[in-house]
Amino acid sequence: MLFLPILNLFLYFPEDKSEYIPAVIKLVICIMIAIFVFRLIIKHSKKEQAKAEELEKKLMNQDKDHSLK
């Protein structure tokens, strides 16, 4: 309750609604960058998963070969 007057100092709602346009543009750009990075991380993760599965198969084949000897 004590901080409520202090927080009200930072609220600003402009009368001219065209002042929201740059903020919306920045928000859209940030969202697009976030989606791009998210998709990039997923793509990299799938590549790493494929490498790990290949290594696992290789190690399982080596283990089978050693157990047969």
User: For residue 44, is it within any domain?
Assistant: yes
In this structure, are residues 20 and 14 in contact, taking their beta carbons and an 8 Å threshold? yes
Q: How many independent structural domains does the chain possess?
A: 1
pLDDT at 66: 72
- Which residues of the chain carry a pLDDT beneath 50? none
How confident is the model at residue 45, as a pLDDT?
98
pTM equals 0.65
Report the amino acid identity of residue 67.
Answer: S
Q: Domain for residue 39, yes or no? A: yes
CB 47 within 8 A of CB 41: no
- Amino acid 21 reads I
Tell me whether residue 50 is in a domain. yes
Domain assignment present for residue 42? The answer is: yes
Task: Look at the block and give the residue holding tokens 């919306």.
Answer: 24
